[in-house]
Amino acid sequence: MKSTTEKFGNTPHLPSLWTRADALKVHADDPTTTQPLVSADFPVLSDKVFIWDTMPLRDIDGNITSVDGWSVIFTLTADRHPNDPQYLDENGNYDITRDWTDRHGRAKMYYWYSRTGKDWKLGGRVMAEGVSPTVREWAGTPILLNEQGEVDLYYTAVTPGATIVKVRGRVVTTEHGVSLVGFEKVKPLFEADGKMYQTEAQNAFWGFRDPWPFRDPKDGKLYMLFEGNVAGERGSHKVGKAEIGDVPPGYEDVGNSRFQTACVGIAVARDEDGDDWEMLPPLLTAVGVNDQTERPHFVFQDGKYYLFTISHTFTYGDGVTGPDGVYGFVADSLFGPYVPLNGSGLVLGNPSSQPFQTYSHCVMPNGLVTSFIDSVPTGEGGTQVRIGGTEAPTVGIKIKGQQTFVVAEYDYGYIPPMVDVTLK
């Protein structure tokens, strides 16, 4: 198997590399890149459902959009089962941890609305049962298309397979609330190709998901980011000089990090409607560093491209580590080269005392970062945890050149609109 640079050598752009040397600069608990502690007495959005990945309604340029004064968010959602015998432990108590851990297998897309950008009211499921072609409705992006309220929801249809799909519907408002209508015909867009992006046949633990369409502010074309892994049989990837980077003596050993092959994928639309897509080589690869670069997204600021992606401690390769959280990279043009923000890439990580407090961060163009609460330690010595499945406090960051700084904390699930669209 070729190294990342050899593999994509003849393609229009070379992926930028997040190297092992970059990752050695990642340090948990730097206050400028660490999420403030989430208290264990957090409020819960709903005692009926868990929510996790949160996808604010936005326009194609990335601006968080309200409609007729109503904010709308989409969430991955699963029922809580406090009374289901399947989720009772040997003492007859609800095993919420197991229920929460199982949620990915029954994830469905729901929506919520609000007048205040917080205090979300549950709207319901986006698609009726049977509309989506697979069992799991995984993350993506809702885009408000026009003043008629049309919305394209791009998301991932998972199990069997993993396909990037879209479904079109409409947002309807009254003075009392919001409903989503339509969302009845799901259109498959593309799957991993096995040449640039790893397939299930090449690796049972492959990732191919989380579409984030956008219009390039410079060339005006329609593109889409997504999470992938670099193509090739599992275990066959090469962690060469380029992937290692400039490491100090004694740090050349890459261990088994050839199993870590995350990348941020990109596709370009062949049509204006975004129904026909061509996959391009990844923008960024993390071979030898990390196995997951999830929910990639952009903030366009100061003429630069700020690329953000979420990742975990457990997906790092041998000899490198970092907190669960959001990582970032910056370039002067869409196809790079990308440089890790803050030298390391780390933008907002969990504190080491509460390593799973939040996840699935989304950096919005106003510098606000939303995420969900996973689990927060409670009691003596933090031996117990309280499961979240709800919105975390929003964090404010300042993005300055190649650096970022945590500067503020806001209310739980605070996702204020940046533009309001009056529907016709």
Residues in region 232-261 near ligand FRU by CB under 6 A: none
* Contact yes or no for 372/358 (Cβ under 8 A): yes
Element (H, E) at 244: helix 241-244
- The answer to whether the Cα torsion of 387, 389, 390, 394 is positive or negative is positive
The answer to whether residue 318 is catalytic is no
| Sign of the CA dihedral running 367, 31, 304, 315 | negative
As a whole number of angstroms, the distance between CA 110 and CA 168 comes to 15
- Among 33, 49, 53, 267, interactor with ligand FRU by CB under 6 A: 53
Member of 44, 126, 127, 139 binding ligand FRU (CB under 6 A): 139
Q: Which is nearer to ligand FRU, 295 or 386 (CB)?
A: 295
Nearer to ligand FRU, 22 or 137 (CB): 137
Q: What residues are paired with 78 via a beta bridge?
A: 50
Q: Residue 92 corresponds to which amino acid?
A: G
Q: Answer yes or no whether residue 210 interacts with ligand FRU by CB under 6 A.
A: yes
- Residue 57 vs 76, nearer CB to ligand FRU: 76
x/- letters, 276..315, toward ligand FRU (CB under 6 A): ------------------xx--------------------
Q: Does 153 bind ligand FRU (CB under 6 A)?
A: no
Residue 294 falls in the annotated catalytic set: yes
Residue 237 or 295 with smaller CB distance to ligand FRU: 295
What is the closest distance, in whole angstroms, from the C-beta atom of residue 372 to ligand FRU in the complex? 8
CB-neighbour burial class of residue 106 (10 A; exposed 0-12, middle 13-18, buried 19+):
middle
Q: How far apart are CA 237 and CA 240, in angstroms?
A: 9
- Vertex 192 angle, CA 242 and 157, to 5°: 130
Burial 6-33 (b: 16+ CB within 10 A, else e): ebbeeeebbbbbbbbbbbbebbbeeeeb
Catalytic residue among 53, 210, 243, 391: 53
CB of 50 to ligand FRU, least distance (A): 10
Nearer to ligand FRU, 107 or 167 (CB): 107
Asked whether position 360 contacts ligand FRU by CB under 6 A, the answer is yes
Strand (E) or helix (H) holding 326: strand 325-331
Q: Compare residues 27 and 106 and give the one whose CB is closer to ligand FRU.
A: 106
User: Min. distance of Cβ 125 from ligand FRU in angstroms?
Assistant: 16
The radius of gyration of the chain's CA atoms, rounded to the nearest angstrom, is 21
Binding mask 83-112 for ligand FRU (x = CB under 6 A): ---------------------x--x-----
Q: How far is CA 14 from CA 17, 93, 232, 283, 336, in A?
A: 9, 53, 17, 8, 8
| Residues between 405 and 424 with contacts to ligand FRU, criterion CB under 6 A | none
Minimum distance from CB of 359 to ligand FRU (Å)?
A: 6
Select the residue interacting with ligand FRU from 209, 238, 297, 386 (CB under 6 A). 209
Catalytic residue among 294, 324, 374, 391: 294
* Bridge partner list, 76: 109
Site for ligand FRU (CB under 6 A): which residue of 51, 76, 263, 286? Answer: 76
- Of the CA atoms within 13 Å of residue 131, those in its CB half-sphere come to 20
Active site residue ranges: 53, 294
* Binding interface with ligand FRU (CB under 6 A): 52-53, 76, 104, 107, 138-139, 156, 209-210, 227, 294-295, 359-360
